Amino acid sequence: MSSPLNILIVDDEAHVRRFLSLVVRSVAPAQIHEAGDGESALALFPSIQPPPALVLLDVNMPGLDGIETLRRLREGGHEGPAVILTSLANRQTIEEAINAGADHYVRKDTPKDEIAAILRPLLAPAGDAPSASA
């Protein structure tokens, strides 16, 4: 069995963090690290070793929002996958998320199985990832 992956979930709602933890663990063995806001996530991030294999961030949080948090993580050198989650789905927010370095943008009302399908390739070991060549 492979070692659990470190996953950082950043959302101001505890029930959403629990739900996402369940979805992540349905895809891969995971050690979940949680933060309730962007500032807490930035403070916690350096202590997670090895660095998170995936960061899941809510867009709307008190204080530092998810997009700015992701922007700062990317500026700090985090290159791993990042998924922005939100209840909003307007074009401007999606573009801001992508410009900040998001790999995916997922609405919170997306069914669990669809979220798992999005996360599966992001969490697959390098040897298990689908080949990009034809």
Q: Tell me: the pLDDT tens digits for 80-94?
A: 999 999 887 788 988
Burial class of residue 84 in the structure, from the number of CB atoms within 10 Å of its CB (0-12 exposed, 13-18 middle, 19+ buried): buried
C-beta separation of 16 from 62 below 8 A = no
pLDDT of 99 strictly over 50? yes
Nearest in space to 12 (alpha carbons), one of 45, 41, 51 = 41
Domains of the chain: which residue ranges? 5-126
For the chain, give the percent of residues with pLDDT over 90.
83
Q: Which CATH architecture has domain 5-126?
A: 3-Layer(aba) Sandwich (3.40)
Strands (E) located in the chain: 5-10, 30-35, 54-58, 82-86, 104-107
Joined together, the tokens standing for residue 127 give: 């040897």
Q: With bands split at pLDDT 50, 70 and 90, how would you rate the model's confidence at 1?
A: low
Query: How far apart are the C-alpha atoms of 90 and 27, rounded to whole Å?
Result: 28
- The pTM for the full model equals 0.90
Joined together, the tokens standing for residue 40 give: 């807490």
The average pLDDT across 89-115 equals 92
Query: How far apart are the C-alpha atoms of 46 and 51, rounded to whole Å?
Result: 7
Q: What is the pLDDT of residue 85?
A: 93
Query: How far apart are the C-alpha atoms of 55 and 7, rounded to whole Å?
Result: 6
The average pLDDT across 57-78 equals 95
Q: What is the pLDDT of residue 127?
A: 39
Joined together, the tokens standing for residue 48 give: 């997670």
Q: With bands split at pLDDT 50, 70 and 90, how would you rate the model's confidence at 17?
A: very high
